[in-house]
């Protein structure tokens, strides 16, 4: 039996603490650490594929070449060398940026928090996709915005529904539109070029800041690359990270944005952490300058592509015909939709009993929905484990569907 804990400080917390969301992913980490559990919940990169000898050499070079400076405080914006590196990396996506357009953050997660802190007053409307990244919802929620979710389809955010929502809001202009156009987390879909262009036009026409979050852009397994929105308009705020192509433990991400925005973000960052880790930044510089990282990334892409296919094949083999799912061209996730009477949040304890975790869909919606959906991650487990996890999960789903049919037959509920 769980022990009740009395919180003597309950009346002292800030009002915003009532609105902060829990992370549907982080709460599953403890369960996923069990040896008998196959995790389809966390978006953890397969770092065992990294050339650890070269990583160790990059870390050693950080100390050997920078000396004690690698262990010292740095500037809040990040090292000029790291910011120049980011400018080099994003040229692959036809993004032109100068170091003054870049601020280094503790992963892209801190970027989300800093942007929310910079722009959101309590009650301000903001736009996200529905579903969207749970970490973004958690970062935004602590600043108490009014979140509006725009549904997705296989081509990304429904721009027609976005325009309807903006018209409905009228003079209450949203502070920003947040989107994950490449291999969406959690939905796995990719926004088409036509919709990207229209979204940029809407941002210009209505004077609404557009935030483009692109952690998975280098992890495409099928189809042709699609232009980033930042390459179409330098007023787009572009977020990136090395977490998915190098090591999340280095906590190195970035914001590319107009200088006036970064000036304000920098003030927030100074009050948050003074500066990021100099040692991490120097290590990242050496990894991307001194190792064949593109070859490593190609190996990672091949490994993830194999796992994605293993999941798609297993879904076809084991899941009921009533289920549907997305077929991602890249990234780490796909999105499963079950019959409306299957509540994936209620089903999760049963799945855990069978040794499988996933992310229930309801936690990915800013304003309700997703009860019969789930996010499945194919990035971390082996193809064999993925197949077994889908087999187990299918048994749990079938049990829930059978129970529903039994209730219908008994007249206990209406179909």
Nearest to 257 by CA among 73, 90, 81: 90
Contacts for 86 with CB less than 8 Å, ≥ 6 apart: 97, 102, 104, 240, 254, 256
Helix, strand, or coil here: 383?
helix
For 184, phi then psi, to 5°, come to -50, 140
pLDDT for 23: 52
pLDDT for 30: 54
Note whether 333 and 186 are within 8 A (CB). Answer: yes
* Full DSSP string of 270-288: HHHHSS--HHHHHHHHHHH
pLDDT for 94: 97
What mean pLDDT is predicted for residues 143-156? 97
Note whether 317 and 307 are within 8 A (CB). Answer: no
On the CB side of 268, CA atoms within 13 Å amount to 19
Residue 1: is its pLDDT beyond 50?
no
Residue pLDDT, tens place only, 196-221: 999 999 999 999 999 999 999 999 99
Residue pLDDT, tens place only, 108-124: 999 999 999 999 999 99
Note whether 182 and 93 are within 8 A (CB). Answer: no
Task: Give the pLDDT band (50/70/90) at residue 238.
Answer: very high
Q: Are strands 209-213 and 237-241 parallel, antiparallel or unpaired?
A: parallel
pLDDT for 66: 86
Q: In this prediction, what percent of the chain has a pLDDT beyond 90?
A: 80
pLDDT for 18: 67
Q: What is the pTM of this model?
A: 0.92
Task: Give the pLDDT band (50/70/90) at residue 67.
Answer: confident
Q: Are strands 373-377 and 253-256 parallel, antiparallel or unpaired?
A: unpaired
Average pLDDT, the chain: 92
Domain 52-290, second-level architecture = 3-Layer(aba) Sandwich (3.40)
Residue pLDDT, tens place only, 347-386: 999 999 999 999 999 999 998 899 999 999 999 999 999 9
pLDDT for 403: 74
pLDDT for 15: 74
Sequence-separated contacts (24+) of 138-142 with Cβ below 8 Å: 138/20, 138/21, 138/22, 138/23, 139/109, 139/112, 139/113, 140/112, 140/116, 140/178, 141/19, 141/20, 141/21, 142/16, 142/17, 142/19, 142/20, 142/113, 142/116
- List, by residue range, all CATH 3.90.1150.10 domains of the chain: 15-49+295-410
Helix, strand, or coil here: 308?
helix
pLDDT for 407: 61
Helix, strand, or coil here: 264?
helix
Q: 3-state SS of the chain: helix, strand, coil percent to 5? A: 45, 15, 40
* Full DSSP string of 202-254: HHHHHT-EEEEE-TTTT-B-SS-----STTT-TTSEEEEESTTTS-GGG--EE
CATH fold of 15-49+295-410 reads: 3.90.1150
Nearest to 306 by CA among 394, 197, 219, 213: 219
Residue 267: is its pLDDT beyond 80?
yes
Task: Give the pLDDT band (50/70/90) at residue 127.
Answer: very high
Residue 135: is its pLDDT beyond 70?
yes
Residue pLDDT, tens place only, 282-329: 999 999 999 999 999 999 999 999 999 999 999 999 999 999 999 999
Residue 404: is its pLDDT beyond 90?
no
Nearest to 238 by CA among 251, 225, 257: 257
Residue 65: is its pLDDT beyond 60?
yes
- List, by residue range, all CATH 3.40.640.10 domains of the chain: 52-290
Token pair for 223: 């189809």
Residue 22: is its pLDDT beyond 90?
no
Contacts for 394 with CB less than 8 Å, ≥ 6 apart: 318, 319, 320
B/e letters for 259-277, b = 16+ CB within 10 Å, e = fewer, are eebbeebbeebeeeeebbb
Q: What is the spatial distance between Cα 3 and Cα 63, in angstroms, rounded to a whole number?
A: 48
356 DSSP β-pair partners: 38
């Amino acid at each position: 039996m769980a022990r009740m804990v009395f919180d003597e400080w309950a009346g002292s917390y800030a009002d915003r603490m009532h609105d902060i969301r829990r992370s549907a992913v982080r709460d599953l980490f403890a369960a996923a650490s069990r040896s008998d559990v196959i995790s389809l919940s966390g978006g953890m990169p397969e770092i065992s594929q990294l050339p650890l000898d070269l990583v160790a050499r990059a870390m050693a070079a950080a100390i050997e070449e920078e000396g004690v400076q690698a262990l010292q405080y740095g500037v809040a914006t990040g090292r000029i060398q790291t910011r120049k590196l980011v400018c080099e990396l994003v040229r692959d996506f036809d993004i032109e940026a100068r170091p003054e357009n870049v601020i280094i953050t503790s992963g892209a997660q801190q970027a989300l928090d800093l942007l929310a802190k910079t722009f959101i007053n309590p009650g301000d409307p903001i736009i996200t996709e529905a579903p969207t990244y749970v970490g973004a919802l958690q970062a935004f929620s602590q600043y108490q915005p009014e979140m509006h979710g725009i549904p997705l389809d296989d081509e990304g955010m429904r721009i027609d529904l976005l325009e309807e929502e903006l018209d409905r809001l009228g003079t209450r202009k949203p502070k920003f539109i947040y989107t994950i156009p490449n291999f969406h987390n959690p939905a796995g879909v990719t926004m088409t070029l036509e919709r990207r262009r229209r979204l940029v036009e809407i941002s210009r026409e209505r004077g609404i800041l557009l935030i483009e979050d692109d952690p998975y852009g280098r992890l495409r397994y099928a189809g042709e690359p699609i232009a980033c929105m930042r390459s179409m308009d330098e007023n787009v705020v572009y977020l990136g990270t090395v977490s998915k192509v190098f090591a999340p433990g280095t906590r190195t991400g970035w914001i590319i944005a107009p200088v006036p925005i970064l000036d304000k973000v920098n003030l927030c960052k100074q009050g948050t952490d003074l500066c990021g880790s100099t040692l991490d930044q120097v290590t990242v510089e050496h990894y991307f300058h001194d190792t064949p990282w593109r070859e490593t990334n190609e190996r990672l892409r091949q490994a993830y592509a194999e796992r994605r296919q293993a999941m798609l094949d297993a879904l076809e083999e084991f899941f009921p015909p009533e289920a549907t799912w997305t077929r991602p061209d890249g990234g780490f996730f796909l999105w499963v939709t079950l019959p409306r009477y299957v509540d994936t949040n209620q089903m999760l304890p049963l799945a855990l009993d069978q040794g499988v975790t996933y992310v229930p869909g309801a936690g990915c919606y800013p304003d309700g929905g997703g009860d019969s959906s789930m996010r499945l991650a194919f990035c971390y487990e082996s193809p064999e484990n993925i197949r077994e996890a889908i087999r187990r999960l299918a048994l749990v789903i079938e049990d829930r569907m059978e129970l529903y049919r039994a209730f219908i037959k008994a007249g206990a509920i209406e179909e």
